[in-house]
Amino acid sequence: MKGIVYLLGFGHIAICSYWVLYTRQTVAALKGVFQTYSLKYLAAIPAVFGLLFLVSASSTTYPWVFRIIALLAFCEAAVAFADPQQIYSRMLDWYFQNVSDQTNRLFGIIGIVFGTVILTWI
């Protein structure tokens, strides 16, 4: 189970580092993914991450934090799959049209810190 925690932590750090260094390219690639595939298919991604957090929670120092993160990921997957009143679609439109590069870099830095925290709780 610790291997999954290492995978989550290092993967999160790698992805968010790329997000900070190549902000515009990452946002453009992410926009292309959301335009190409349906939200119903993409809802599987947070569900898989939620499952990974839930499975690996028992091997961490603070398992309740990992279980809360898993619950939030499952809720995001449910909202993305159902997309009631186009909430998720409107949020994506806002993100791709109104969020600046500095805000995206801030999200990336927060993600790097989060990945580091994941690794310290092993």
**pTM assigned to the model:** 0.85
Residue positions counted in the chain: 122
pLDDT, average across residues 26-48: 91
Nearest one of 117, 91, 94 to 9, comparing CA atoms: 117
Q: Which residues, other chains included, contact 24 with Cβ-Cβ below 8 Å and sequence gap of 6+?
A: 101
Q: What is the pLDDT of residue 116?
A: 95
The owner of tokens 């925290």 is: 117
Which residue type, as a one-letter code, is found at position 1?
A: M
Q: Is the pLDDT of residue 88 over 90?
A: no
pLDDT surpasses 90 at 83: no
Contact at 8 Å (CB) between 2 and 59? yes
Q: Tally the domains of the chain.
A: 1
Once rounded to an integer, what is the mean pLDDT over residues 29-37? Answer: 91
- Give the residue numbers spanning the domain of 95: 2-120
